[in-house]
Amino acid sequence: MNKFEAQKLVQKWVIANKGDCALMTEATEEYDFGWAFYYQLKKYIETKDYREMLVGHGPILVDRNSAQMFETGSAYSTEHYVKAYAATGDPFAEPTSHIQISGSRDGADKLAAIGYIRNITGLKLLDAKAHMDKTLDNQVVSIEASSPEQAAKAVEVLEGYGFLCKQLWRNQC
């Protein structure tokens, strides 16, 4: 599916379900998986008067491979919905405190990673070292941070140390 085909699909949905709305084609965003299309009341598009603005909705995500459409909301940012969909195929997935470490790059700093893992998990030195040894042997290991926010930060730090990792979302645990 290309952008034009996706736009036609969303336009048809907007007309059928939100008759007084229209697509804001200039606001369309493209991602690896597809697109985020935005719509708004026709009156707002014509006047740019904020009193005429529709609120409480988010973009419609369209997957370029499956042609699936997902109507999002305003509970989260577009970035959140996009990140959730890219990670899980579900724009409404929630991040967890679980981290999966699946390998390392040449020159990975094992000692720094061991210290960091001990710090965020409370693991003993031998347990943290065992996790890193498994990772260096191309085995997948999982650790748990104290919060989803700390897990997101841990992924950044561990990637900086040369490890391949990702934060798991609620339907990946």
Asked if residue 173 has pLDDT above 70, the reply is: no
Distance CA(77)–CA(17), nearest Å, equals: 22
Task: Name the token pair of 78.
Answer: 């577009």
Q: What local confidence, expressed as pLDDT, does residue 138 receive?
A: 87
Please check whether residue 171 is in contact with residue 110, taking contact to mean a CB–CB distance below 8 angstroms: no
The band of 171, judged by pLDDT with boundaries at 50, 70 and 90, is low
Residue 66 belongs to what H/E stretch? Answer: none
The tokens for 51 are: 């009193």
pLDDT tens per residue across span 57-73: 999 999 999 999 999 99
Q: pTM here?
A: 0.76
Q: Using CA atoms, how far apart are residues 23 and 15, in angstroms rounded to an integer?
A: 9
pLDDT digits (tens, 9 = 90+) for 140-161: 999 999 999 999 999 999 999 9
Q: Which overall architecture, per CATH, does domain 95-169 show? A: 2-Layer Sandwich (3.30)
Strand-pairing partners, residue 35, are 30, 62
Per-residue model confidence as pLDDT tens digits over 77-130: 999 999 999 988 999 999 999 999 999 999 999 999 999 999 999 999 999 999
Write down the domain spans for the chain: 3-88, 95-169
pLDDT > 90? residue 1: yes
pLDDT for the residue numbered 19: 82
* Chain mean pLDDT for the chain: 93
